[in-house]
Amino acid sequence: MTSQIRDLSDDEARAALPLKWGMTEPGVIPAWVAEMDYALAEPVVAAVQEAVGRGTLGYPRFELGGGELGRAYAGFAARHLGHEVDPAQVVPTVDVTAGVRLALDVLGPDRSPMVLPLPAYAPQLGLAEVTGRQQWDLPVTPDGDAYVLDLDHLDRLFADGARTLLLTNPHNPCGHVHTRAELEGIRDLAVKHGARVISDEIHAPLVLPGADHVPYLTLDGAGAHAVAVVAASKAFNTAGLRCAQVVTADPATHQRLTQVPMARNDSWSPLGVVAAVAAYRDGDAWLAALVQRLTELRALLAGLLAEHLPEARMRPLEATYLAWLDLRAYGHADPAAVALRGGVRVAAGHDYQPGLTGHVRLNIATSAERLTEIVRRMGSALAGAA
């Protein structure tokens, strides 16, 4: 591996990642929750250490747009995503899930159903219920190599009364990056039916060579019906610091989001802001090294699967470090449980789509040595187990 990303030792990873490593039995390699086994970016560590040294542990500035955070995100979006963002329209929130919830609550007070493409990032499965609306599923076929959103189905769901689509782009767990044409198809339906799109773009910094991320808000006409929810925390491994951003491209939508009672959105952390500003402003070199490392691991994974799990099918990993594996050929309803018995903790497919059998999500953001051992163990567990 050529990149300057530093692998954590097992002991370091256990200290750094209390959920991913701390809730995995000793001897089992964790490859489940979306965190990376790498040392943090130096500019982020330095900024957070300096902030702690200064005692910056009071409430963050209650700045619903603009400020250092807005400017830092706007700079990042311009450099990396080709998106000209108005810093004043970057609203902090505690995390991406809370940002989506806020957008659902505020922009969809009519409680109309929410469309959720499945499989979906597991916490999204509870979002409709906690915001008092129905979830209408838009299943993406588990067969086939390409990830294709069924726009005719979406058209019917909107026609039947759904008024919000929760889009995840790039997609977790499928690793897909929506093309401009796909997004324009979604945009046209949203406009036709007067629906909204909430676009979870937390994985946008993690697009790998071969794909291009198109921010939904850059589409003509999207600003009037859409918001994006973004964060530095996934690409920079700082989920525990609690700061995401809701981005708008329409002053009226921004105003609706920010004129809510304080109880709806007041709990992001000052250290999260410090980390996000440092990541967005000073993290480019580290991020480039990370993307290079993940690209190398993607190639390594392809070889490992061919060797140890030749019957596995995998949609192309266009972004993220989360590989979605179709392991139905091995005949196990719950291959994650079988893998766990074989010494690897991966995420079960049914966590992303209730009832789905034979699939797992594999987190490849670790060392080449661990990834090699992970796939080797999965191969012997799945191919060898009854």
Ligand X SMILES: Cc1ncc(COP(=O)(O)O)c(C=O)c1O
Contact footprint for ligand X (CB under 6 A): 34, 95-97, 121, 168, 172, 200, 202, 231, 233-234, 239, 244
Nearer to ligand X, 216 or 330 (CB): 216
Residue number with CB closer to ligand X (239 or 249): 239
Which of 64/338 has CB closer to ligand X? 64
Q: How far is the CB of 203 from ligand X (least distance, A)?
A: 6
Q: Please, what is the minimum distance in Å from the beta carbon of residue 147 to ligand X?
A: 14
Q: Among candidates 236, 172, 239, 240, which has minimal Cα distance to 201?
A: 172
Looking at residue 362, the DSSP 8-state letter turns out to be E
What six digits make up the tokens of 287? 């991020």
> What span, in angstroms and rounded, lies between the C-alpha atoms of 224 and 202?
21
Q: What three-state secondary structure class fits 298?
A: helix
Measured from the CB of residue 307, what is the shortest distance to ligand X in angstroms? 28
CB 321 within 8 A of CB 31: no
Closest approach, Cβ 233 to ligand X, in A, equals 5
Residue closer to ligand X, measured from CB, 34 or 301: 34
The residue number whose beta carbon is nearest to ligand X equals 95
Closer by beta carbon to ligand X, 205 or else 342: 205
* Smallest distance from ligand X to CB 236, Å: 12
Q: C-beta of 295: minimal distance to ligand X in Å?
A: 19
**CA–CA separation, 350 vs 359, rounded Å?**
8
Q: How far is it, in rounded angstroms, from Cα 386 to Cα 381?
A: 9
DSSP of 199-255? EE-TTGGGBPTT-----GGGSTT-TTTEEEEE-SHHHHT-GGG--EEEE-S-HHHHH
- CB-wise, 167 or 382, nearer to ligand X? 167
